[in-house]
Amino acid sequence: MSLSATEDDSASEIHIPADIDWHMLDKSKFFFLGAALFSGVSAVLYPIVVLKTRQQVSPIPISCFKMSFAIMRHEGLRGFYRGFGTSLTGTIPARALYMTALEVTKSNVGTATVRLGFSDTTATAIANAAAGLSSAMAAQLVWTPIDVVSQRLMVQGCDTSSKNMIPNVSNKYNNGIDACRKIVRADGLKGLYRGFGISILTYAPSNAVWWASYSVAHRLIWGGFGCYLGKKEDALVNGNGCNFRPDSRAMVAVQGLCAVMASGVSAIITMPLDTVKTRLQVLDGEENGRRRPLTVVQTVKNLVKEGGFRACYRGLAPRWASMSLSATTMITTYEFLKRMSTKRQEENRDLLRD
């Protein structure tokens, strides 16, 4: 793929590796390497997820620093990895579903939008948004029950009680299997899918916004860089243009910057939904001494009563940080994974460049 920037008679071309389509991938290699790489990423970022979850279910605002200090003081390093085994077990099949839906949708929708006459930039944004939407919906079939169990384990032992809510951790969970068994015993199979609807409403638009924002940011940054090179070359050699191929470090830097920008947009837009989802999955209501699941309306009312609309944004900083770090490592790992998994790399090498 070439990104061209033109100014008068001068032109500057930036040659970056072309996108790798689904049909170019060795699927077994793609999934095997993906499971290993993304498991490592999850292990590094998991403590931030624990911080975010505890902040979201806390009835009072608590800073990340105070929360981290309290966990380390009372629970040690293990407190930052509560529920990690359960989360990791679900990450592998969920990631497989996610990546399959992402690549298949992106390839098919991208082809269809180009045929409909959309510009390359618009077609890419539409394809990425559709891919993010479908991949999130597919992955939630696995991620929702894993979220329910792992989040219960994350907040187990911390004080999340208030007048209208009590933590749904009255029975101590020994591990993920024990938690799953007790949840099913108490609430049936639907207990594992508590908050499924709000999860779809949270992650589907979040992914759509993220992938669309990422593709737009990616093109804007390289386009701006191309304009800069065009002006510079025009001043130096009277408009003969230049031919620039970014190295791997430049590629990773731009991917990381685009990921942070897309994460910020996505986090701000979908944070209230994520807070409501987390509370639905972790907290119960109490009426006449009986425990019962909270509804979406009750959850929102409790949040507003605790701190107004700002309460919906508790945990925004760690969520943005988590999304940015996760997205940066994910997108760079993902692009690396795709290039490692291409069929007959030697034969396809010329296809990866314009």
Q: Do residues 244 and 229 lie in contact, with contact meaning Cβ atoms separated by under 8 Å? A: yes
Q: Do residues 263 and 323 lie in contact, with contact meaning Cβ atoms separated by under 8 Å? A: yes
Residue type, 270: T
Residue type, 209: V
**All residues at 6 or more sequence positions from 251 whose CB lies less than 8 Å from its CB, including other chains:** 16, 17, 335
**b/e sequence 208-247, b meaning 16+ C-beta within 10 Å:** bbbbbbbbbbbbebbeebbeebbeebbeeeeeebbebebe
Predicted local confidence at residue 11, as pLDDT: 43
SS (H, E, C) the chain: CEEEEEECCEEEEEECCCCCCHHHECHHHHHHHHHHHHHHHHHHHHHHHHHHHHHHHCCCCCCHHHHHHHHHHHCCHHHHHCCHHHHHHHHHHHHHHHHHHHHHHHHHHHHHHHHCCCCHHHHHHHHHHHHHHHHHHHHHHHHHHHHHHHHHHHHCCCCCCCCCEEECCCCCCCCHHHHHHHHHHHHCHHHHHCCHHHHHHHHHHHHHHHHHHHHHHHHHHHHHHHHHHHHHHHHHHCCCCEEECCCHHHHHHHHHHHHHHHHHHHHHHHHHHHHHHHHHHHEEEEECCEEEECCHHHHHHHHHHHHHHHHHHCCHHHHHHHHHHHHHHHHHHHHHHHHHCECCHHHHHHHHCC
How far apart, in Å, are the Cα atoms of 102 and each of 16, 17, 21, 46?
21, 19, 11, 23
Predicted local confidence at residue 81, as pLDDT: 92
For the chain, 354 residues long, give each residue's pLDDT as a single digit of tens: 344 433 333 344 555 555 666 677 777 777 777 777 778 878 888 998 888 888 888 877 788 888 888 888 888 888 899 889 898 888 778 888 888 888 889 888 988 888 888 887 788 888 888 998 898 888 888 888 998 899 888 887 665 554 444 444 444 788 889 989 988 988 888 889 988 888 888 788 888 888 888 888 888 887 776 665 555 555 444 444 455 566 667 777 888 888 888 888 888 888 888 888 888 887 777 666 667 777 888 888 888 888 788 888 888 888 888 788 778 877 777 777 777 777 654 444 544 454
The span from the CA of 208 to the CA of 190, in Å, is 27
The whole-angstrom distance between residue 92's C-alpha and the CA centroid of its chain comes to 15
At 344, list the tokens. 């007959």
Q: For residue 39, which of 348, 345, 333, 335 has the smallest C-alpha distance? A: 333
Predicted local confidence at residue 231, as pLDDT: 56
Write down the pTM of the prediction.
0.65
